[in-house]
Structures are given as C-alpha cells and as structure tokens.
Chains A and B, each alone.
Chain A
Amino acid sequence: MTERYDVLIVGAGPAGLAAAQAAASHGARVGLLDAQARPGGQVWRHDVRRAAPRAARKAIAALHQVEILTQHHVVACEDHALLVETPQGAERLTYGALVLATGARELLLPFPGWTLPGVAGAGGLQALLKQGWPIAGKRVVVAGSGPLLLAAAATLRAHGARLLGIYEQAPAATVNAFARQLLHWPARAAQAISLRARLAGVPYRCGSIVRSAHGEGQLGAIEIEGARGVHRLECDQLAVGYGLVPNVELAGLLGCAMEHDGAHPQVQVDSLLRTSVADVHAAGELCGIGGLAAARIEGAIAGHAAAGDDEAATALLPQRAQARRFADLLRRHFALDPRLHALATPQTLVCRCEDVTLAALDGFTDARAAKLATRCGMGACQGRICGSALAELGCFPRGGVRPPLFPARLATLALAESEPSFSDEYRGN
C-alpha cells in the first residue's frame, strides 16, 4: 500500500511532464500522478477524435523510467507522504522531494442563468469536447476573456460546432495593443495567426460581455452587452471563462506560503522554484498564471532541483524570465472589466453546490462565518467555484483548505497509517 519515490510529481500537464523528464534524467525514481485518466493536463488533454499536438506527444514519449499514475487523486498529506485514492482503492506514496504542478482552473463568474445546463466554461467545454462531448451542428457562443477563448473556439469548430461568435470582454483598443506586442514574440504571433485562420468567418467582438443566460431547463438564449448595446442571441451552448485561477489547494494543505496576484492566491517560490516547505517544489500555473511555455520551462527547473541538480536548474532561469514576461503582457491586456463583478443579481446562485444566492451572503466579510450561516462553500466542490468567484467579486477571500482535498471514499480516509497529522488549522464545519 505504500510506494516510495525519490521525486513525486503531482499534475501531468506540461509542467509536470517536463519535471518528470528532468528528474528522471538524473536517475531518480520518479512518480508522476494525475487525477485524469491520461497525462497531458488541460492544455494537452487527449482528444478522442484528433491527434495530440506534436509537443504533447513528444513530452509524453520522452518519459523514460517514469511511473505514470493516472486516476490518482490526492486526498491528504502527511510528512513526506501523500494519501491518494485510485479507482482500485487507496495508497500512500512517500517521497524524497515533491514537485507540485497542479496547474490552474478556469475562473467562472456568476451571472443570471449561469446554472442552466448548456452553460459551461470555455476551457471547460473544450475539455468536454476532447472527451467526446457531442457538439456537431450545435449553435455555440464563446465568451469571456483571453487567448484561451480562441483555442476553445478552434477546438469547437474542429468538432463541428456552429460558432455564432467569440465575445471578448477586453476592449478592442487593448486587444489590438496586445496584438501589436505579439510582433516581439514571433512564435506566439504565428500561433495567433493560425488560430485566427482556423476561425475564419467567426465574429470576434471585443468589449462584449454575456449578461445573462435564458432557457427552460436548459440554455436557449443569451443576452450580450457590447459596444452597440444589448442584444439577444439564441444558442444551444455557451462556453464562458474569465481566465485562470491557480490550483493551490494541495500546496495550502502542505503549508506552503502563498502570495497574492489580485484576488487569488498563488504559491510563493524562490528563484529555483522551491516553496517555503522543505523538499516541496512548484512549477507552472500554480506559481502564477504564466501559460504553456512558462509551465514547461518551470517544470524542467523544478524537476532538476528536486533531483538535486541545482546547476542544471539554474541554467534554465533566463528562459523562464522570457516566458514569464509574456504572461505579464497577457495579464495587463486582459484585465477584467469591473462590469463583470456586477452581473450577479441578489437572486443569482453563487454557491452552486448548496444553492446559496448572492443576497444570502449580504453583510458577511468572512468565508467561514458565511459558510456557517448559509452553507456557502460547504458542498462537494469545497468552495473552489464559489470561493474563487466571491474573491474575484471582492466579497471575501476563500476560506482555508483542509483534508480531504477532494471528496474521497470513507474507506480511503480510514487508510491513514501514521500518526503525523494532516496539516490543518481549521476548526468547525
């Protein structure tokens, strides 16, 4: 039931794959675990109908001497050990060094109608499609913010969706300024041009936000507010996402120090991507949203450092700085319009697990007090969706993290072998 690894990596996206390759190159016993059924993470998620991108295939093929542990869900942590749940049962994985590459999730903001079936995240619908979600012939609107919208739209079109339009909240002036900056990043520019070509004929509207979704039992139409006022659009599916939020829950459970970028916490790391906790490294989006290139280079840095080769890690630092500069560019140009914070009405459900409205949270300035009084954040998602949304809306920061990291079978929770406690400072439900 207990397996020991020199280097254990959590998250098999670009950062985790690069970390595994780097760590294994030093002869370390490396375990690479992920909750998904296949490696690749979100950006390189396996597509059942289409071949994977070349870079993804190469990154996965490059893994020699790495044990890939899919469908492994981290439930809790102990000193140098993770308790994980698998479809078969539960296991305890111990490690010499741990690399956190837990990536990011989409920022999903409440608006009237967002709970209707047919409304999904932009990255969310893209992920569903890649796993076979039927979309051919469906009328789809993509909305939200950032280049992820274009990537999602391209996947939608490739899967046969009827794309009615892409609605970017950032104003045209800043999006155009961003496009001009791309001239300094030829590879990015080429990527953008290729995406635009694949989306030929699809309207791309800036300064536009989806105000509400409507339908009986499922989505039938949306209301869009743009430069020329409000209009209604009938559609079958809405893919709407407002950028990304770092997945810092496991880092939090381990006791890693955090820093804030705007409303959302990210893991604090030193120049070699070591967290504040000994033998715990972090790479990629959870250290601050940085995109694919930054994730790959950071994964390699963290993997080398975790295997004890600081020199190899240090040699990669200039590439990291370059990749992170692009992330700053993105952040500056796709800052969220304050109007998005005001879309939810008092009757809009904010906590989807427990059906808690925005009005019910009126007057609370603390996540725990709100939870005790209203059940907000008490459900299965453990406040990941509503907590991030409420933090973004400026209501209150998300509450503390505690085990289990995700809901887990009680049999799994009963597996704990050793006395050292879950790192947890939380009291009361």
Chain B
Amino acid sequence: MTGYDLIVVGAGIIGASCADAAAGEGLRVAIVEPGPIGGGATAAAMGHLVAMDDDPAELALARYSLQQWDAFADLPEAEFSRCGTLWVARSEAETRAITTRVARLAAAGVDAQAIDAQTLYELEPELAPGLCGGMLVPNEAVVYPPRVARYLVQRAQARGAQLHGGRSARKLERGSVVLDDGTRLSGPALIATGCALPVLLPQLPMRGRKGHLVITDRYPALLRHQLIELGYADSAHGDADSSVAFNVQPRPTGQILIGSSREFNATDATVSPAMVRRMLERAFGFMPVLHGLQGLRVWTGFRPTTPDGQPYLGAVPGQQDVWVAAGHEGLGVTTALGSARLLLDLLLQRKPAIDPTPYAPSRMAA
C-alpha cells in the first residue's frame, strides 16, 4: 500500500496540468497513464489558446487559464507562438455581431478589435475575395499540447510525483485506486480520463465528439494568424450531428493545420474521406491557395463532451475522496491550467479565483 495526497488518473493535458499544480503545492502525487503522455485528445488537438465569448462560464475559465499560459510563452517545449486569432466575417450580419463580441471579450479582460475588410486582407492576403472584415484578438497563441503535457508531467516528477506509466486504473475503491496489475494506490483520486471518464465514473455522462485535422508541409509566412470563421461557434456549440467550420492555424514550423469538423455518433477513429472533403472544401472557400498545398497527414480525435458543454471540475457527488477534471470539449488545452488551479483550490478548501459553480459535477446529480 502506497499513500498519496492525490492520485491523478490520466495524463492528458488536463491530468498533466493537475498533477503539476498538485506537485507544485507540495502534495505527494501519483500519475496513472496507460499510453503515451498526452497521447489522446491532447495529441489530436490544434493547440489553439482561444477565448470563446458566447458562454460566460466558458469565457471565465478560458480567461483565467489564458493568463496562466503566459508563463509558458518562452518555454521551448510549448512551441508557443503568439499568432493571434483572426475571426473572419463572411456577411454583414456577422460583421454587425462583432461589436457585441468585442465588448464581451473586453469585459472579461481580453483585448479584441473589429477590423474592416481592407485590414483583413492586409493581415492575411491569401483570404478569398469578398469577405467583410473580422475581429482580431492579438494576444492569443498556439502551443504544441502533447509536449506541454509531457513537460508538466516531468516537472511534477521533478517535484516528487510518481508516474505509473503503461498502467491503467481498473477501479476505484474506498480511498484507493486499483491498477490493472493489481497495484493499489491509496489516497484521494482525481479522474482526468476525458472521453474514457464513464469507465470509472459512469454516473457522469460523457460523449466523444469526433474531429478531423489535416496538416500540410512547411509554407512559411503563407499564413500569419489563426483564422476562424465567425460562424465557428455555431459549429462548436450547435447540436448538429455533424458540422464543419473554417479554422486554420500557422504552426511555428511553417506548416498549416486545417480544421475543423465535429461529429456526434461517430465512434471509430477512422478518417472519413467524406468529412475530410467537407472540411477541406470549407477551407478552400475561405482560402483558395490551400488547394495546391501538400497535405502530409490526416488524423482524428475525440473531444470529451458533457451534456451542457461545461467541464466537470470538482468533487464527485456521493463518492468520498474522488475528484474529477474532464469534459472540456474543444477547449481542453486552453482551459487546462485554469482548470487545474481551480481544482486544487477546491481540493485544498481554498476560495477559487473564479466561481466554480458552473463546473460542479454535482449539477448532474440534481
């Protein structure tokens, strides 16, 4: 029997952030991960650090977390690039909505500005003609999530955390976690297994929302900002069985990462040629130059999605000493650091910097 102050199950970006934060507090931490560190949704993610303004709780957590990401700006492992986010408007209606969005972001402390069509093309000359303008959020950035997760786990290890690599948690028993090899780790458990959450916590509903991404060879300077269509939120927050949106990212390598798609009810990880086609055609519509670029890889991933779109952060109702941090849908990388901080505050019975109520797992028991 080995005793810990916190046993983190899952070393994706969420679990890694929690383990790092816990070890930073001086807690004795165990980390359980069956696969590569950050090998699930974390590896499949775009790594865009972005504030979405259309939901106050989501915005609060994103804003809180983004402040903490600034500490990683000079970390080589993060491959941090402050490219900014440029939201692109296709119609006058979308343009009109920008004022509200800028105001909402400003209220949350995020600097954003409306830009006209001329400025849009100055910023991104390869955009298709006929676009109406957009919104620039200059301080947002992109990172490389699996390496960050690995860095966080290693930093936790340097502070004494024990990594149980290649091991999965078989079950939770009163006050302990039993691993697949029979090892019993004793202490409070934090479940951060994303889409696999129901394996250990079936009472917390979770669905995988499949996404596709395509990455190109290196084309330095072709693209400067993360570009997203303003209609993206309709895809991200809508309930449609499947949707695509224009969402492209300049990697620090000069590669271009092209998204995005969302599918419920797609459970296998195979690449769907039809979805790739829909997603690429959407992207071609906004950026015709993409047609001729060399695509290197296509992959899929699953966003862990809760019924109300808010993550589960806090104590699991009805289970003593079991905590959860999972279900961040497409914003897990953005909100990982803030989620970890919030969770540690709850665990250590301190007052969190932001209101934890919207993320309380107990809302599912109600």
Contacts and interface: CB of A to CB of B under 8 A. Distances in A.
Direct contact of A and B (CB under 8 A): yes
Contacts of B269: 424-427
12 contacts: A366-B36, A372-B38, A372-B146, A407-B294, A409-B294, A411-B292, A416-B273, A418-B273, A421-B270, A422-B271, A423-B270, A427-B300
Interface in A382-429: 382, 402-404, 407-429
B44 A409 contact: no
Interface in B297-312: 297-301
A373 interface: yes
Contact of B298 (A403, A423, A425): A403
B258 interface: yes
Interface in B279-338: 280-281, 283-284, 290-301
Nearest to A372: B146
A34 interface: no
A410 B296 contact: no
A78 B300 CA distance: 17
A424 B36 contact: no
A37 interface: no
Interface in A65-113: 76, 78, 83
A410 B271 contact: no
Contact of B40 (A410, A425, A428): A428
A372 B280 contact: no
Interface stretch (B13-21, B182-190, B214-222): B214-222
B150 interface: yes
Contact of A416 (B213, B276, B283): B276
A160 interface: no
Given A372-B39, A416-B277, A429-B213, A410 B293 contact: yes
Closest 9 CB pairs of A and B: A416-B273, A428-B43, A369-B36, A421-B270, A414-B280, A372-B146, A407-B294, A422-B271, A411-B291
B294 A373 contact: no
A413 B147 contact: no
Given A410-B291, A418-B273, A421-B270, A382 B296 contact: yes
A413 B150 contact: no
Interface string B212-243: 01111100000000000000000000000000
Contacts, number: 130
Given A380-B217, A422-B270, A368 B39 contact: yes
Contacts of B271: 402-403, 421-422, 424
Interface string B199-216: 000000000000001111
B295 A416 contact: no
Interface residues of B, number: 43
A421 B290 contact: no
A106 B102 CA distance: 57
Nearest to A368: B36
A78 B36 CA distance: 30
B295 A404 contact: yes
Nearest to A379: B296
B71 interface: no
A416 B212 CA distance: 15
Nearest to B145: A372
A428 B301 CA distance: 6
B366 interface: no
Interface string B174-200: 000000000000000000000000000
A250 to B, nearest CB: 16
B39 A407 contact: no
A410 B258 contact: yes
Given A368-B39, A372-B39, A414-B276, A425 B270 contact: yes
Contacts of A413: 214, 276-277, 280, 295, 298
Contacts of B291: 409-411
Interface of A: 76, 78, 83, 366, 368-369, 372-373, 378-380, 382, 402-404, 407-429
Interface string B7-30: 000000000000000000000000
B365 interface: no
Interface string B146-183: 11001000000000000000000000000000000000
Contacts of B36: 366, 368-369, 372-373
Contacts of A404: 295-298
Contacts of A416: 273-274, 276-277
Contacts of A373: 36-37, 146-147, 150
A382 B298 CA distance: 12
B67 interface: no
Contacts of A408: 294-295
Given A372-B147, A373-B146, A407-B217, 13 more contacts: A372-B37, A372-B39, A372-B146, A380-B217, A404-B298, A409-B293, A410-B293, A410-B295, A413-B277, A419-B272, A422-B273, A428-B146, A429-B215
A404 B274 CA distance: 14
Contacts of B217: 380, 407
A424 B271 CA distance: 6
B259 to A, nearest CB: 12
Contact of A428 (B274, B296, B299): B299
A419 B37 CA distance: 33
A70 to B, nearest CB: 20
Contact of B299 (A369, A379, A410, A426): A426
Contacts of B44: 427-429
B295 A407 contact: yes
B221 to A, nearest CB: 18
Interface in B40-85: 40, 42-44
Nearest to A422: B271
A424 B268 CA distance: 9
A369 B149 CA distance: 12
